[in-house]
């Protein structure tokens, strides 16, 4: 259940919400990107054990704290497990100062009328009760919009609000996620329709909930920006076009941060390689290549903004 400190963290904390909620369908890809191929496991149980080890390594990192990560979204199976011998949600909040959320949707239906609704959730109430017992703060539910279909978008928003109401009834905070696919040709129209439909449903909320939403909006000091499935440089172009403030960093600061990060990674590579573990070396090499590419192509360094 939410407490005052968690509410303050989510309304005024600086950082991002980490997605640690890969389900059965998305876990193989996540493991592959982490350096674990499918031939490393032979059952779903082994797969989930491996991805839990990955998540454990992430959350136990000294860099994973509430100063940078204000919240983390857990998969149901992760909520039922431990980090370092402590129940997952309890570990996140009490040891790391990170507010725990839970992914509650069961995946997506096939596309119909330009959208993909959430699959039925017959055990939702029982899941929410378990979430309360585990100390979960809030939930996340995702559906997808693939076309600017007024009736389809209305169905998405209606379903999202229906589920969110059930979440609120349990004393939890819902994150609704009606995602617009970034590659569709009518993305702008779909986003406008979604915004209009959201306003319609927000205006129809009971007066007490409308007041809560209004008060929450006033607490949002910073505009947030989220875009996924897009190359980093393209995403930064989108951010710049939104007229959001971009804080420039001097070359000296950027280089100092980069050098410190690489030095730390090199130490970890040496330690893990000595034990026969090459994962860190592969991950570091890939990330260093990305850093070099970004430095060569970025228009967001300090000297480009003078």
Band of residue 304 on the pLDDT scale cut at 50, 70, 90: very low
pLDDT of 306 reads 39
Q: DSSP labels for 18-30?
A: EEE---TTTHHHH
| Position 230 pLDDT exceeds 70 | no
Domain assignment of residue 168, yes or no: yes
What is the per-residue pLDDT for 126?
Answer: 98
Predicted confidence (pLDDT) per residue in 78-119, tens digit: 999 999 999 999 999 999 999 999 999 999 999 999 999 999
Are residues 256 and 224 part of one domain? no
Number of independent structural domains in the chain: 2
Percent residues over pLDDT 90 in the chain: 43
Clarify whether residues 63 and 176 are in a common domain: yes
- Checking if the pLDDT of 301 tops 70, the result is no
Confidence of residue 305 (pLDDT cuts 50, 70, 90): very low
Contact between 156 and 195 under an 8 Å Cβ cutoff? The reply is no
273 and 209 in one domain? no
Residues of the domain holding 206: 4-241
Q: What is the pTM of this model?
A: 0.73
Could you give the angle at which helices 27-34 and 44-59 cross, rounded to 10 degrees?
A: 60
Q: What are phi and psi of 298, to 5 degrees?
A: -70, 140
Asked whether residue 284 falls in the same domain as residue 201, the answer is no
């Amino acid at each position: 259940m939410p407490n005052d400190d968690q509410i303050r963290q989510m309304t005024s904390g600086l950082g991002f919400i980490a997605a640690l909620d890969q389900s059965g369908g998305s876990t193989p890809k996540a493991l592959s990107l982490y350096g674990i191929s499918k031939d490393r496991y032979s059952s779903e149980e082994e797969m989930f054990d491996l991805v839990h080890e990955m998540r454990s390594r992430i959350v136990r990192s000294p860099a994973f704290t509430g100063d940078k990560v204000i919240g983390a979204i857990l998969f149901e199976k992760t909520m039922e497990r431990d980090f370092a011998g402590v129940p997952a949600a309890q570990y996140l909040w009490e040891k790391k100062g990170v507010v725990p959320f839970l992914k509650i949707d069961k995946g997506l239906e096939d596309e119909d009328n330009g959208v993909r609704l959430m699959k039925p959730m017959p055990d939702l109430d029982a899941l929410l009760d378990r979430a309360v017992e585990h100390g979960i703060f809030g939930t996340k539910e995702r559906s997808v919009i693939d076309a600017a279909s007024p009736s389809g978008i209305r169905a998405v928003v209606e379903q999202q609000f229906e589920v969110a109401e059930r979440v609120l009834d349990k004393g939890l905070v819902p994150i609704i996620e009606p995602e617009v696919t970034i590659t569709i040709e009518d993305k702008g129209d779909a986003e406008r329709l979604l915004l209009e439909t959201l306003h319609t449903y927000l205006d129809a909320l009971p007066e007490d909930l409308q007041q809560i939403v209004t008060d929450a909006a006033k607490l949002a000091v910073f505009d947030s920006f989220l875009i996924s499935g897009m190359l980093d440089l393209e995403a930064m172009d989108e951010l710049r076009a939104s007229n959001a403030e971009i804080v420039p960093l001097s070359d000296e600061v950027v280089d100092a941060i980069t050098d410190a990060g690489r030095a730390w990674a090199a130490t970890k590579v040496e330690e893990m390689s000595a034990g026969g573990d090459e994962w860190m070396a592969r991950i570091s090499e890939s990330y260093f290549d990305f850093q070099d590419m970004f430095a060569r192509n970025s228009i967001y360094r300090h000297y480009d903004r003078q």
